[in-house]
Structure 1
Amino acid sequence: MNVCFIMYPWDEMDPENDSTLALIQELAKRGHGLAITTPANLTIRDSVAYAFSRCLRRADKVSSNLKSFHSKAEFYDEMLPLAGFDAIVLRSNPPLDMIMLNFLDSVKDDVFIMNDLDGIRRANNKLYTAVFEDENNEIIPRTHVTKNKEYLKNIIKEGPEKMILKPLNGFGGSGVILIEKRAMKSINSLLDFYITNKDGTSNYVILQDYIEGAEMGDVRILLLNGQPIGAMRRVPGEEDHRSNVTAGGRVEKHSLTKVEKELCRRIGPKLVKDGLYFVGIDVINGKLVEVNVMSPGGITYINKVYKSRVQEKIIDFVEDKVEERVAAFERRQKLRKHVSDA
């Protein structure tokens, strides 16, 4: 099996904790062919989609240590047709590169792509939680998305004492702040900062009810094909309300509660229907806060606290999907030959 990762640059990885690196290492251990590229390195040659790729040299022995694997990896450069791969794994960070998806549209019928392109188009931002029916806010906190400052100020005045404000296109906890009604005098300048750009354009922001217990952190749950395969609790650091590890939070073991299992059961079928096979969801006190579909992380942290290897399940899934496509193709070829020979 030959797999292409469309991702962020290799040198920008955290060699001890990067989830993408864990997936690549697992594929290398199994002897699969691997190439990595970035969205900026996609190209068209003679009307065929290609990628300027860095191909991982195969090794007789692959280091089991992630940091060592990263430092010892050897690559050679090749310009390769995307349709020649068995699978393409998208692991680029937000914001979504729409041109990248346009390149991949031309090969989506030839290659298994994780996650599905149309699914990513629908779910790449924080608006996706709105597709899950929840009239009574049982699984999703009351949420507002707008550029209208006056509307937001009214919501804050009429709402609970504490709310969460964050940019629509942020990731990794960037830009997430806690606001309190008692600080209304600062709200106007804060909204100006988040919404208005220097060039006169504006940004959407999300205003969400603060969920009780959020100060204790959140739960990251990884779902594969609609089913939870790992979870961890992320606890905020002493100087930051955010629980993201990149913002100074720490990781603890977590067993899914009955409410969290029900949440996964309710949203899993929709994720699979949209081709969102590998997803990370953030949950606070049983409520869905975010759905991460572009480059969900947490694999290495879950592995460390549980002594597990989550990446094995994910690569098993990719192998199965590729085998299904190959078997279907061979069956069609056999049937077509039968018709041609008749």
Structure 2
Amino acid sequence: MILLFVADPLPTFKTAKDSSFAMMREAARRGHEIWACEVQDLAWRSGGRVTAHGAKRLALSAAALASQAGEKVEPWYELAATQDLALADVDAVLMRKDPPFDSEFFYATHLLQQAEREGARVFNRPSALREHPEKLALMEFAEHAPPTLVTRSAAAIRAFHAEQRDIILKPLDGMGGMGIFRVTADGLNLGSIIETLNKGGAQSVMVQRFLPEIAEGDKRVLLIAGAPVPYSLARIPQGGEVRGNLAAGGKGVAMPLTETEREVAKAVGPVLAARGLLLVGLDLIGGRITEINVTSPTCFQEITAQTGFDVAAMFVDALER
């Protein structure tokens, strides 16, 4: 197959951790042709087709092909060719641009949807990316989530705190643990935190009951074609932090899925897969969904390195099917 990855700049890839690199490596090992471009390379002109201008064909190095999960490789590719590439002319387009989901990401999903009309196959599906914002998507599965409030109202947040007593507040557009606050029963700094996050009522905020099971980790459960990877990556807070995100210093520990986590995956996975979400990252604390990640889910390499289960192989199997 010919695969086009729409991703972040190739020099920014951290080969010891990057899930997109793991996908490329596994696909290249199977003989698939690997191309890459960035979001800003996508363009459409009337009378033509959506095209990746200056798309790069990658020849992965022998060291990259021989590497194992968690290993750093330099250099990991050579540039085999550069050309304009119509998205409909490749077998699969993999949208792997990292968050945030900003205006340019939104516009890119429309370009990718036009490419679909022209015959391209895009994973994850562009319309599904738009329809499943990563924090708000849990509203559909509220029975599997902690008590949650989404509002601009400072009064509503105060009332929710009075009811729940121990809460987490976070912006809807945050990533990597940015902008997350915990307020306990004493309500210390609640007013200041509300002002910071909702900007005088101009921005919506997500508020959730604090889950003490965070001490056991914020678990990333990967769903591939609706089926769960049998291991999660528990991101365990370190040094007094309330955030388990790896970007915030959390420690990643792979663990077998619990029965509750399997039940949640069974309830959510097939629904999302049917909408064109080939790869989903559920974030679970104490078996409760706190986020549903669809833009560029990661943790492939950490799980594989610690357990031996080849997540990238499971993904490419699904892609080939």
Residue pairs, 1:225-240, within 5 angstroms: 225-229=225-229, 230-240=231-241
- Tell me how far apart the structure 1 counterparts of residues 253 and 320 of structure 2 sit (CA, whole Å): 31
1:16 is matched with which residue? 16
Quickly say closer, same or farther: Cα 1:163–1:15, change in 2 above 3 A.
same
Q: Which moved more, 1:259-268 or 1:44-53?
A: 44-53
Aligned equivalent of 2:186: 182
Residues 109 and 129, structure 2, Cα contact 8 Å, conserved in 1: no
What's the CA shift for 1:95?
A: 2.8
Task: Give the Cα–Cα distance (whole angstroms) in 2 for the partners of residues 61 and 216 of structure 1.
Answer: 36
**2:219, 2:64 → 1: CA distance?**
32
Cα distance per residue 1:139-171 (max 9 Å; x no partner): 210111112222212222x22221111110112
Structure 2 CA distance for partners of 1:62 and 1:257, relative to 1, 3 Å: closer
Larger radius of gyration: 1
**1:103 matched to which residue of 2?**
111
8 Å contact 1:63–1:69 — kept in the other structure?
A: no
**Displacement of 1:299:** 0.3
**2:144 is aligned with 1:142:** no
Unpaired stretches in structure 2, ≥5 consecutive residues: none
Query: Is residue 242 of structure 1 aligned with residue 246 of structure 2?
Result: no
Give the equivalent residue in structure 1 for 2:313. 312
**Cα 1:68–1:301 shift into 2, 3 Å:** closer
Q: Deviations over 1:224-261 (max 9, x none)?
A: 11111132222111142211112111122312122111
Aligned to 1:63, what secondary structure does the other structure show? helix
Q: Which amino acid aligns with 1:57?
A: A
C-alpha distance after superposition, 1:203-234 (max 9, x if no partner): 22100011132233221111111111132222
CA apart distance, 1:68? 5.5
After superposition, residues 1-342 of structure 1 pair within 5 angstroms as 1-45=1-45, 46-52=47-53, 53-57=55-59, 63-65=65-67, 69=73, 71-75=75-79, 76-96=81-101, 97-109=105-117, 110-132=119-141, 134=143, 139-156=144-161, 158-184=162-188, 186-196=189-199, 202-229=202-229, 230-320=231-321
Could you give the per-residue CA deviations for residues 14-48 of structure 1, whole angstroms, max 9, x where no partner exists?
22111111111111222211111111111124432
**Cα–Cα, structure 1 residues 15 and 181, in superposed 2: closer, same or farther, change >3 Å?**
same
1:277 to 1:70, Cα distance in 2 relative to 1, 3 A: farther
Aligned length: 311
> 1:297, 1:62 → 2: CA distance?
19
Structure 1 moving runs of 4+ over 4 Å: 58-62, 66-70
Question: Which amino acid in 2 is paired with 1:187?
Answer: L
Deviation at 1:59, TM superposition (A): 6.0
SS at match of 1:243: coil
1:201 is displaced (CA, Å) by 8.4
